[in-house]
Structure formats: structure tokens, C-alpha cells
Amino acid sequence: MAGPDPAPGASTLESPLLEQQPSTKLQNVVDTSAAARQTEHIPETSNPRDFENVYDDPLLPPAASQANGHSLDVGWRPWKVVIGCFCLTVPVYGLLSSIGLFQTQWKSQQLSDYTDSDIAWIISMFGFLDCFFGAPSGVLFDRYGGRWTLAVGSVLYVGAFIGLAFSTTYGQFMGCMVVAGVAAAPVTTVAFATTSQWFRRWQNIATGCVTVGTAIGGIFFSLVLKALFEKLVWKYAILALAGIIAGCLVLGNALVESNLPARRTATHNDAAAAANWWRTHATGIKRMLWSYKFWLVSYAIFALPHAGGRICAAYELVLFIQWGSIPMYAVSVNFGSDQFYLIMSYNVGAIVGRTLPPWLADGKLGPLKTTIMMNMLTFVVVLAVWLPVGASSIAALYAVVLLLGIGTGSFVPLGVSCIGTLCEPGIMGTWIGSAYTMVSFATLIGNPATAAILEKYQTRGLVAFLAAVLASGLVSVTTLWWTSRKEKYMGVRADAGGEQDGRDAAELAKREAAKSVSTMTTDLG
């Protein structure tokens, strides 16, 4: 006689296995195995080709499970999240892309006794800490989700700019920028990592739409800061800026939501489960750090100043130098009256760069080939236009900053997309955060390096330096493409071999489950 039905929520293995049909036993073991994997917080991969990058577990399913019930790429929810993440990038990277205007303002008023290099360290500290704290912010995001991480970062970020409004000395400016940089890290990490949870087929274009917030925010804040600095004193100008920032962050907090299983928050009070999660996550971090692809993509896309003995950053160093150097470069070549409009032109180009290249990457090119193409475009613009005529013609300089906006603007969304193909949604925050920690050193030296090079080697020295950095990035990303072309890590996700890999994984899972049933039957008999 069969035993009583198990209580709701109890494991199916509590019923007598010997009286069940073999197919039922097999199904119970498979279900229990899946539940065990969920309890142990082993992330599910969205691509069976990526096993070696995380846990090498062939039992992981070939498609990501959306425990919240929201399908990838489908419906209005994913695009609502994109709008929310866009609102998060506007007040951080949008403002950072116009931060050079702060430097010229400080130089002409509050900090007139300091050199350009000294003032540049304030701005660099902001960008450095934003990126440096990306790794811990990513781990917190993966463990606890983005809701509270984002809320705390948003409050601190707004508070930093309120404090900045009442600052008058170098130390006070530096302190406020330090707080702003630390607070910005969870905001940007949540913005980039959350987007990847909602998209598979259109991840590149979705990420591009999020990063467009940098370009649009750059245009917006260029106009806003120009008007505020002309009509208001420093204190009230920055208070007005803080109000605008707060509005963007409130909207972002309201629209952003996670699309991963709720188990991270549901079990975080269980000491055993929490310890197991950290142990599993540490294994994933170790494999990430041992992956040469992670280091190559970090250097080429995000900038890595110390991997493999390299001493300069690549794309992000170029990007941050552009943000800080355009106003200083314009002043040094007697085009200072056009600095606001040059920044706007740069950001107009960046809008194109953050949308069109990701669209191409979602097609047949893939993110790596698209990145190589945009690198070559930027390299040609620097050497063929900026170096020979950029300092002598305002029309040529406008053309240069517009084309540089297209080229360098594509690096961020393509970089996030490349990182997304190397990891699962469950640890996306850690990968992006770790890569941005590498970026932090590029942001730290970007503006001071610009000022120092301009002072010692003039404008041609700065342009030559940018060309050299772009060349090193091209070598790195080409190496990554060459080593990955057979493995299809960076190509189009819907490849012909994916279905076969899924069948192979399913067959192996069935054999392992059958073996487990046989062992358990022997023990119970």
C-alpha cells in the first residue's frame, strides 16, 4: 500500500521510492536536483558554451530561468527597466561627461591659485571612486538585489552635491567629490547589471539605450551648467543641479526592477545558506580572475592599467580624457568661447555611437568585431584629422569631436555586451563591477594626465598620446577576437551549435539522474 501523500512543500523523496514507477523516481530526482541547485545559489547559464567560464557544471540548463515569470526581450517590462536605467546614467555619467566645465569654473573663481593639474585631481577622484567601488557594489547587487543598494547610493549621491553647494575650499570640493564617487558606484552598477537580466536577443541595443543617458545627459548638463553659472552664484547653481539629479534618481528607483530569482533576499537570514552562497560566489570570482578573456576584455574595453605589465589604459582612458580635455584643449588653442558647444557636439556624436554600433552588434557582426571597427574609426580620426589640423581650424575641431563622440561613445555599451557574453545573469554584477574597478585607474589618471601633457608637450603631444592608447586597445581587442573566434564567446548568441549543446547537456543530465536513482534504490532496498 502506498504511503500517505507528502505534506505540501515537502521533498518528494520523503515518499517511499520503491513503490513509485521508475519514471516518477527519475522525475523526482531531477526536480530535487534542480531545487538543490537553487538552494545552493548556483547560477544558471544563458549559454551552454559558457560552462568553463563559471562552474563547468554540465547539468545547468541551456537557457536562463526567469523565476519572476518575466520573459526576456518580450513585453513592456524590459523597456520600462531600460528607461529606469537610462535615468540612472544621466545624472552620473551624463554629468561626468560635462565635468570639465566644473574645472574651468573653479579655475576662474574659487581655486584660481591652483594649477590645472591640481584641480583635475578633484574630478579624477570622482570618476576613480565611482569605478573603483564597482566590484563591491556588484557583489552586493548579486547577493541582495538592486533595490536597497540603489536607494542608499542615490541618497548619498544627492547629499554630496548639496554639500558641494556650500563648499569654498579645495579640501571641501575634494571631500564632496569623494562621497559622490563612492555613492555613484552602486547606481551605475545596478543600471548596467539590471539591463542584462531582461534581454538576450536585444541585449546590445538595450545596453546602448541605457548608455545613451551619458550622451544626452552630457548635452543637457552642458546647457544647464552654462545657464546656471551665468545667472546664479555657485551655491544656488549647485543646489539647483542637486534638485535635477534627485529628480532623475527618483524616477530611476521607481522604474528599475530585478528579473532574477528572489532567493537572494529570501534566504539571506539563513546563516548556512548565506555561507554557501558566498562560498559558491567566491569560486565564480576565482574562475573569473583566472580567465585570460576577462583580463583581455577588461583592458581592451574598460581599460586595465596593470594587467600583463601594461601601464596605460585603453578605451576608457581615451573616453575620460575626452570628457575632461575638450574644454582645456579648446582654451589652449584659443577656442575657449566654443567649449560648451564642443562638448555638446561630442555628446551628439556619442548618441549615434551608443545606438548604431550596438544595433550592428546585435546583427551579424557581434560586439567584438564592432568594437574593432569603431576603434579603427577613432584611430583614423585622431591621426588623420585631429593631429594635423585640429588646433588650427574650429570647423575641423568640431568635426573631430563629433566623430570622436561616435567612436568612443560605442565603447561603453559594446564593453558591457562583451562582458555579458562571458558570464551568467546571476553574477553579472560582479563581472561588471570588477571590470569597472579596473577602469578606476584610468579615470584617476585621465584628467591629470591631460593637463600635464598639455603643459609640457602642448596639444600635439596630447593627440599623439591618445593615438598610442587607441593602438594598444586595438591590439588587445584583436587578440581577444582571434582567441575567441572558434569558441563563439563574443559572436551572435543564436548560433547553430547552441541547440546541439543543449541536447548534449540534457542527455548528460538524464544519465546522471538515472545513476542517482539506481544508487538510491540500492540504498533503500
pLDDT tens by residue, 344-367: 888 888 888 888 888 888 777 887
| Category of 308 on φ-ψ map: left (φ > 0), alpha (ψ -120 to 50) or beta | left
The reported pTM is 0.64
Domains contained in the chain, number:
1
Q: Round to whole Å and give the CA distance between 127 and 216.
A: 18
Among 33-42, 167-176, 334-343, 483-492, which is the least confidently predicted range? 33-42
**CATH number for position 297:** 1.20.1250.20
Of residues 170 and 199, which shows the higher confidence score?
Answer: 170
Whether residue 447 lies inside any domain: the answer is yes
Q: Round to whole Å and give the CA distance between 133 and 345.
A: 31
Whether residue 65 lies inside any domain: the answer is no
pLDDT in tens, 195-211: 877 877 787 788 888 88
Residue 293 domain boundaries: 77-257+286-484
Whether residue 9 lies inside any domain: the answer is no
Whether residue 406 lies inside any domain: the answer is yes
Whether residue 507 lies inside any domain: the answer is no
pLDDT in tens, 66-85: 444 456 667 788 889 999 99
Report which residue type is found at 72: L
pLDDT value, residue 294: 63
Whether residue 2 lies inside any domain: the answer is no
- Cell of residue 514, nine digits: 538515472
111-112-115-118 Cα dihedral, nearest 10 degrees: 0
Helix (H, G, I), strand (E, B) or coil at 366: helix
pLDDT value, residue 244: 96
Name the pLDDT band for 288 (thresholds 50, 70, 90): low
Q: Round to whole Å and give the CA distance between 82 and 186.
A: 17
- Cell of residue 130, nine digits: 565611482
